[in-house]
Amino acid sequence: MSAGASGSSGASGSHPPFDVAVLSRSLERCPDPVALYAALCHGRPDTALLESADHSTASGSQSLLMSRAALRIVGRGRRVTLDALSANGRDLLAGLARRHPEATASDTGERLVLDYPPPATGDERARLLAPSPLDAVREAVLSLRVTGAIAPRPPLAIGAFAYDLLGVYEALPEPASDPLAWPDFELWVAEEVVAIEHDKHRATALRFVFGGITPPQNSPAYHDASRALAELVTRIETIPAAPPPGEPPRLPPELGAEVDQDDAAYCATVTTLKEHIRRGDIFQIVPSRSFRRPCPDALAAYAELRALNPSPYMFFLHGSAGQLFGASPESALTVRGPARRLRINPIAGTRPRG
């Protein structure tokens, strides 16, 4: 599972772009991100917190908090479901529906379902360029165009992609089981965001207003967003600053976790794989097993994790299938700048040696 954010500042394809007004307020303070997330989100789904920290000093670099989303985009197999989560999101969804007369739309205008054709055959390039469920994500994000002054941050989507998404491009066998039932991807087009720059000791509150192809400044949604932004700033000012890094928490000696393989079964798996390596069938493989235990407060668990393992890539997502959090020292894929330069960092065993 990979989590992250992507931004947009232009249009995509031959369709006219959707105009977006960005309202922002700067604050010369640095609230504690976890405390702010708890105060603004109250355990609500469709919210997210992305953070980065310097592992050597355990100090925060930046945090990006999405307290409200306009649109949820969920992909399962060849079907993508888009749900409007606010009146603002309904405006954006209506624009997407006009582009897709073949789609199934709800009577309330709050849901749009897109079905994509079976995977293309042919070489790798043909499969990558063929229509796929990710086209819905590209269209929802890359078609947004900021109006007015240059925004401190462009409209963005935040979410997670599962490893099973590979099945969109490659013919894979059906998994033996899927106990978690996570979607192939789940992303949100943000409506309300707080960006915290720890090194500069400041925060920026943002609201995005989606006006379709008409100037959003003329819509009632723009004035509603102005009021909501003022309320957001007031809430932020009540949150204390992040405390300095302290001693990491101590873990209990016994976690009491359930595993899907006991020690004997896991050792047998390792022995079997070592024999395959000896025969030359494979040269590297990573056996794994799952650990499970109750987690009554996922946000508190994330707070402990970020204290134990401050990392460049930390995330807490509350999605439709549950809560997902983690901390990683490295990225799998990075896209930078208007030129969209792509950098891929393959994990061990996915590229030839030398």
Q: At 36, which CATH number? A: 3.60.120.10
142 domain-assigned: yes
Classified as helix, coil or strand, 140 is helix
Cβ-count burial of 7 within 10 angstroms (0-12 exposed, 13-18 middle, 19+ buried)? middle
pLDDT digits (tens, 9 = 90+) for 4-61: 666 655 544 567 788 888 999 999 988 999 999 999 998 999 999 999 987 555 566 8
260 domain-assigned: no
> Is the pLDDT assigned to residue 201 strictly greater than 70?
yes
Residue indicated by tokens 């590229």: 351
278 domain-assigned: no
CA distances in angstroms from 330 to 54, 255, 337, listed in the order given: 12, 27, 19
**Choice among 69-83, 108-122, 258-272 with the minimum mean pLDDT:** 108-122
Number of H-type helices and E-type strands within the chain = 7, 17
> Is the pLDDT assigned to residue 149 strictly greater than 70?
no
Give one DSSP letter per residue of 54-69, joined into a string.
Answer: ETTTTEEEEEEEEEEE
90 domain-assigned: yes
246 domain-assigned: yes
Q: Which domain holds residue 323?
A: 2-255+293-344
Asked if 25 and 228 count as a contact pair (C-beta separation under 8 A), the reply is no
300 domain-assigned: yes
For residue 306, give both structure tokens.
């970020």
Asked if 205 and 40 count as a contact pair (C-beta separation under 8 A), the reply is no
Instruction: pLDDT band for 115, please (50, 70, 90 cuts).
Output: very high
Phi, psi for residue 290 in degrees, rounded to 5: -95, 140
Cβ-count burial of 288 within 10 angstroms (0-12 exposed, 13-18 middle, 19+ buried)? exposed
Report d(CA 89, CA 188) in Å as an integer. Answer: 10
Task: Report pLDDT for 11.
Answer: 47
Higher-pLDDT residue of 195 and 130 is 195
Classified as helix, coil or strand, 350 is coil
C-beta atoms surrounding 179 within 10 Å: 8
281 domain-assigned: no
287 domain-assigned: no
Tally of structural domains, the chain: 1
- Please, what is the end-to-end C-alpha distance for the chain in angstroms? 28
Asked if 81 and 210 count as a contact pair (C-beta separation under 8 A), the reply is no
Percent of the chain with pLDDT over 70: 88
Task: Report pLDDT for 343.
Answer: 86
